[in-house]
Amino acid sequence: MSEAVWILGINMTKFGKHPDKDAAGLATDAVLAALVDGGVTMKDMGVMAAGNLMGGGGIGQVIQKQVGQTGIPVYNVANACATGATALRTVIMAIKAGECDMGLAVGVEMIAGAGLLAGGSRGADSDTWVPSGRYGAVTSVDGRIGTETMPGVFAQIGQEYGYAHNVDASFELFARISEKNHAHSVLNPLASYQKRFTLEQIMGDMMIAYPNTRPMCSANCDGAAAAVVVSDAKLKTLSAEQRRRAVKISASILTSDPWEEACQILPNVNTLTRNAANQAYEQAGVGPSDLDLVELHDCFATAELVHYDNLMLCEPGGAVDFFNSGATWRDGSTPVNVSGGLESKGHPIAATGIANVWEICHHLRGEAGDRQIQGAKVGMTHVIGLGSACGIHILEKSAA
């Protein structure tokens, strides 16, 4: 990257159920709080990118009506579970292109009550999610008599890792990954769930798609997150306090699937993630050993395991041993998902990519409270959406 780009302000709402809000209202809460956090206003913004997957498009202009219509370009973004990360990258690219020196990225989703498949819709005057369409039709049997939806697909991906590397990727191992994330969640007041589960509770809960039980699956919920991005030149003109709290974006990467001669039975979540990680490390000039914490896309406990390997946090084929070493716990060598991850924090699809950045920023600023990773200087965020898209950002603490 040429000129450095920085996160100046960032905020996320509490994830969970917000029956008193609509998408624009929830996004507005996050946007206004991010502007306050950065010490700026909408008049300072030169571009806006708004992510929303389930709402049908045009969310950015609707949010503008709430926070200020200033005539700036607005990009509406939808890119599966990488939607929030894509919105952030859109603003980064506009600033690096010299079109403006400050911009706003926001992601919002209203899917509380959608269950695990999100096949349907929630009426404007109802808290009930009504299954419909292709995915809604298979809600009751998905993962039991075959699947092409997310719980079953990622269950297969986790088991395939064990077969491919001849390691013991057992039901209990995946449950222990979930146990870690739920344990981390109790320190995060913005998480959808803040509850510690015993291993027995996790393994004994409802089976969704073996080996993922209900607590091992991401929680669809309502939520929004927003970030203010600023150029290096502009940051130098701001106050000492703004410079101190700014977080450097050392790498911003987005990949999709490369062409490969393969069948359509099982999506490949590995290649595009590994490609993104390689590019991110090269762009940032750091390696996996430099990371003080990682927020990765644990849409299911099985996904977290394979992404240890894909992000090169361990040796190829070494994800099981890496987890068993205790490295990914808060007090380990490479803490992973100290927010509680998607399994506890929740997964309002378009907000997740920016919410992951919010978590890392707070540790790098030293503002993460009881869950603070002491001395954190470098962090990575990762999201992946089938379809396909993988977004990775590497963030560094300000030297100011």
In this predicted model, what pLDDT tens digit does every residue of 80-95 receive, in sequence order? 999 999 999 999 999 9
**237-261 pLDDT tens trace:** 999 999 999 999 999 999 999 888 7
Q: What does the mean pLDDT of the chain come to?
A: 92
**171-187 pLDDT tens trace:** 999 999 999 999 999 99
Q: What is the pTM of this model?
A: 0.92
> Checking DSSP bridges between strand 389-397 and strand 378-385, what pairing results, if any?
antiparallel
**21-53 pLDDT tens trace:** 999 999 999 999 999 999 999 999 999 999 999
pLDDT above 90 for 365: yes
Residue 298's pLDDT is: 97
Q: Which domains does the chain have, with CATH numbers?
A: 5-113+221-249 (3.40.47.10), 140-216+251-397 (3.40.47.10)
pLDDT above 80 for 134: no
pLDDT above 70 for 163: yes
**301-310 pLDDT tens trace:** 999 999 999 9
User: Distance of CA 88 to CAs 102, 136, 201, 355, 373, Å?
Assistant: 12, 31, 37, 11, 24
Residue 238's pLDDT is: 98
> Checking DSSP bridges between strand 5-12 and strand 120-122, what pairing results, if any?
unpaired
**271-300 pLDDT tens trace:** 999 999 999 999 999 999 999 999 999 999
